[in-house]
Each structure stands twice: as structure tokens, then as C-alpha cells.
Homo-oligomer: A and B are copies of this chain.
Amino acid sequence: MTLEDELGLQKPVALLGHKALLSMCYTASRLRKKAGEFFRPFTLTDVQFNLMMLLKHQSGNKKGLSQVQLSNMMLVNRANITSLVDRMETAGLVARTPAPSDRRTNIIKLTTRGKKLLERVEPMYAREVEGIMAALKEPEQKKLIAMLEKIRSNIGDSNGKKKAPKT
């Protein structure tokens, strides 16, 4: 089933590039909705799961990440992380810790409860993802990733930091 069939689109996607862009955004939208449904029974959102995954796998020796680090990794505004961590702290999934070297900085860490929940959900979600992506064979997935990277590199940095401020 094509995008046109699904959405009744014809003229607005006359340009191939426009169609590709729409297709990407619609696919991402559906993926996130699917993820939302998956996580709901755990009183969790895809964003919160993503944050916990970063804390578990990306926090190096320190076992924690600052809010700015999280916002960069998640490609969202710093201001977002404040309320996100607020909610997750209330839910007992993460905790703010003062950074020893810089009093401006909060180090966000997983709580025991957060770790336990992640332990349970992570393998289930991995299976869910594999099920969805099984629509593409391995080499195709690699090609998809390569193409998406090409597009991203053509957009430039997401947080407004210009890549090469010419002159």
C-alpha cells in the first residue's frame, strides 16, 4: 500500500523529494505511535525509555549524564529535559545528583527502580523492534541507515549550532 493510497495524496507529493520527506515523517510518526502503545502498559513513554537507555548504556564510568548531555543525545531542547526529568523523578525512575565539579550541573542517574524496570522492558522492546524492522533484510537496513545519514548531514546540526560559520 502506497502513501498515496493511504492518505489520498496525489498532487502535494508531485515532487519526488517532497514525497520522500513526507514518507519519512509519516513513518517516524507511526513508529512512535506504535512505541507509545508498547510502553503504555509500563506507565512509560518512548521518550522516557530512550532517556533511561542512554543513562544505562552511555553514561560511561560516571554512571550518569548531565541534562545538557541528555538534550544533545536526544536532539531536544534543554528546556525539555527539565520537565522530563521532573516527571521521571516523581515516578521514581531517575534521580538528580549534584555534580561534584560544577554546581551548575545536575547528574541524572537511574534509580534502582528505574534499573529494574529497564531490565524487564528492554528485551521485550528489542523483540518488538526486530519484528517491525524484519520488513527489511539486513543489507537493506544498512542502506536505509546510510541514506538517512546522508540526509541528516545535508541538514546540518539540530541545535542551531552552525556547522561552518563561513568567514
Contact = CB atoms under 8 A, between A and B. Distances in A.
A42 B88 CA distance: 36
Interface string A87-118: 00000000000000000000000000000000
A133 interface: yes
Q: How many monomers of this chain does the complex have?
A: 2
A65 to B, nearest CB: 10
Interface string A1-43: 1110011111110011111110111111111111000000000
A130 B154 CA distance: 11
Looking at chain A's contact residues, is the secondary structure mostly helix, strand, loop, or mixed? helix
Interface in A131-167: 131-136, 138, 140-145, 147-155, 158
A34 B141 contact: no
Interface of A: 1-3, 6-12, 15-21, 23-34, 53-54, 56-58, 72-73, 75, 126, 129-136, 138, 140-145, 147-155, 158
